[in-house]
Amino acid sequence: MHNEDLMKLLAVLGAVIAIIDGILGFDNRNLDGTQIILLVVSIILASIIILSVIIPHKFIALNWIICVIIGIVMIIYTSLIGGVLILLAGFVGYTER
């Protein structure tokens, strides 16, 4: 398995976990406006990652910089496990250069 394939696998796994975590985050009874916005942003960022793996050159090219930035944003604001996997995918993509 090449580094690019491993990067795509880790990115999709992290994005799926982030989407699940975002959907389950709406189950909280004490949601305020900022939490709802952060959950929606997390789902959108995870969808961008999935679309960039499925449709590589039509949407956004998946590279390590995008994975690192989205991974850090997800770790800070919403999904810890999904963000770590996406961040790890970014580091794997960086070592490919």
pLDDT along the chain (97 residues), means of 10: 86 94 87 89 92 82 88 90 93 83
Q: Given this model, what pLDDT does residue 5 score?
A: 87
> pTM of the full predicted structure?
0.88
Q: Using an 8 Å Cβ cutoff, are 59 and 52 in contact?
A: yes
Distance CA 17, CA 14 (A): 5
